[in-house]
Structure 1
């Protein structure tokens, strides 16, 4: 039996699936990191460090006692691994086999971006096999020896190519410095390494998105996956799941067909939340910008890649989510040497919600996030609308 859902109920359902509606949704400590990653399906790794990097920020949002060392410890324990989802990501080790098709494609490709010199690739492989795990800078030292016929750049390209085609895995990470090892040395023996069929891969994508978001669309499932075959297979999997009764298809005005898990439809969806979140621009919940625009009426774009003169909100704006409503965004920067966390420009975009409902918890959240960024003081530079500046400063000074 079909159930009619309001837009608000859909928003709550997807935020709950994302772990954004209650404290400690995945538990606490390092175990919560693995639980969260298995629920979300992947965790995007980002190099930008204007504030704490995206992979750490995303987990801190859901795990209050999160420590950045947890991720690398889980890599060392072989419970998670690094590879490509729609971007460089951490993935649950149990899903390793679903990375194999892309590895195979890259291995067979002669035109891929990492078109490394085969001789250098063989040298890199032989060196790691003989001497053990290596960082890219270890090869940089080698290039300075007299008589070296290779240079650091080709060895770095070779490392990346060997990683992407599955001959190497990342066994350790210190910040953005990666350590590479032979895949057979990293991969647990009990991991399934059979290459999934096209239909198995499509089923993995469908189930990953349904689990992580509660409901999904074909466009989201096939995000950045090129070719007609993957879409055809996804449609087949969805059709089969509809026939089994594990999902339902619902239609919302101005939206493509939505596919939703049946077990979620049986839950109470009226538990409104008033929690407040300061999200990373690369948070799983907001990474699909058209989905956020469609279901949350929030038009979001990160502007660090936009020329300065064309930016509207700022270099690194973090979306602010209150309950199931995006009430604004704030351009932030952690000045780590000065131990000062700056709110460069706070944009309050939803002024229909009473400021007193969200401002105090927001400022408490920002202070907590500043501490997570190893900052001790908070600085508010600009507010839009400007008429709110004095009110916000007063709240902050008495908070």
Structure 2
């Protein structure tokens, strides 16, 4: 099998180009530039910590320069006609293109079976499932709500109340998703089928192995050149699942084994650019 050999300088330039740092910034960044950036990266990680601005605004700024953050807000939490993104657990909780929803339903199904998610949430898939389904029924009848609308008492900053844990399990399992965010950035939940556009929600589920291979392909496109651990971590895939997906993509010629001095074994996406 042919191995691509790159110098450290070449490796850096491939990685920077894949992430969108090789091109000049546009004079005025608009919808088209923002959409291209999100599609290139595949995800924008969400973080409640706000030092400069919230984390999901920074990737586009670093590539496009100053832009109207309301454009991203509308794509993520605006009216359904404007919505192009959804929230889910990818590389941590992230904003993702709607096209990825079918590729992550296998993860939702695992969570629904109690095979994924934090230990404190897994009980809602089994012995406490009736409680979670009762809350889901309440959402169905009463409409969108946040954890603060249903919880009693107060939890600490980094602690989750019981209703919050229940809602987060419903979120992880795909029963609910983010309808919007309040000014405090608190998530407001609603039934997934009432938030995700019908043309996306009605798409068939993608089998696990196929979905994982496509996620690794997206990771490799976004990174350009990466180790197996980096490809896996982009969408937080299990090592065994990622290994099967990587081997498949190597066999198909999508990933090319690569060597860089001082690096572990790596993989180059066949479409990666080599900027001068």
Aligned to 2:262: 254
Task: Tell me, in whole angstroms, the C-alpha distance in 2 between the residues paired with 1:181 and 1:98.
Answer: 21
> CA contact under 8 A between 1:26 and 1:32: conserved in structure 2?
no
- Counterparts of 1:35-50 in structure 2, within 5 Å, are 35-50=36-51
Structure 1 residues 171 and 234, CA gap change in structure 2 (3 angstroms): same
> CA contact under 8 A between 2:43 and 2:97: conserved in structure 1?
yes
Task: Tell me, in whole angstroms, the C-alpha distance in 1 between the residues paired with 2:174 and 2:4.
Answer: 45
Structure 1 residues 47 and 264, CA gap change in structure 2 (3 angstroms): same
Q: Which runs of 5+ in 1 are unaligned?
A: 145-151, 271-399
1:83 is paired with a residue of what secondary structure? Answer: strand
1:190 is paired with a residue of what secondary structure? Answer: helix
- Partner deviation per Cα, 1:190-227 (whole Å, 9 max, x = no partner): 12643322331232122112211222222211224335
- Counterparts of 1:172-191 in structure 2, within 5 Å, are 172-174=180-182, 175-191=184-200
Task: Tell me, in whole angstroms, the C-alpha distance in 1 between the residues paired with 2:28 and 2:92.
Answer: 27
Aligned to 1:113: 120
Residue 235 of structure 1, aligned match among 222, 247, 256: 247
Q: Which runs of 5+ in 2 are unaligned?
A: 154-159
Equivalent pairs counted in the alignment come to: 255
Aligned to 1:17: 18
Aligned-pair CA distance for 1:53: 2.0
> CA contact under 8 A between 2:8 and 2:261: conserved in structure 1?
no
Aligned to 1:200: 210
Structure 1 residues 26 and 2, CA gap change in structure 2 (3 angstroms): farther
Are 2:171 and 1:157 equivalent residues in the alignment? no
Aligned to 2:61: 60
> CA contact under 8 A between 1:80 and 1:91: conserved in structure 2?
yes
Aligned-pair CA distance for 1:94: 0.5
Aligned to 1:360: none
Report the structure number with the largest CA radius of gyration: 1
Aligned to 2:94: 89
Aligned-pair CA distance for 1:153: 2.8
Aligned to 1:125: 136
Structure 1 residues 232 and 52, CA gap change in structure 2 (3 angstroms): same
> CA contact under 8 A between 2:258 and 2:265: conserved in structure 1?
yes
Aligned to 1:323: none
Root-mean-square deviation (CA, aligned residues, Å) is 2.7
> CA contact under 8 A between 2:44 and 2:95: conserved in structure 1?
yes
Structure 1 residues 264 and 164, CA gap change in structure 2 (3 angstroms): closer
Aligned-pair CA distance for 1:134: 1.2
Task: Tell me, in whole angstroms, the C-alpha distance in 1 between the residues paired with 2:238 and 2:131.
Answer: 31
Comparing both structures, which one devotes a greater share of its residues to helix? Answer: 2
Structure 1 residues 215 and 132, CA gap change in structure 2 (3 angstroms): same
Task: Flag the structure with more relative contact order, 1 or 2, with Cα contacts below 8 A and sequence separation at least 6.
Answer: 2
> CA contact under 8 A between 1:96 and 1:193: conserved in structure 2?
no
- Counterparts of 1:369-384 in structure 2, within 5 Å, are none
Moved over 6 A (4+): none
> CA contact under 8 A between 2:46 and 2:94: conserved in structure 1?
yes
Aligned to 2:157: none
Structure 1 residues 38 and 57, CA gap change in structure 2 (3 angstroms): same
2:177 is paired with a residue of what secondary structure? Answer: strand
Task: Tell me, in whole angstroms, the C-alpha distance in 2 between the residues paired with 1:26 and 1:171.
Answer: 33
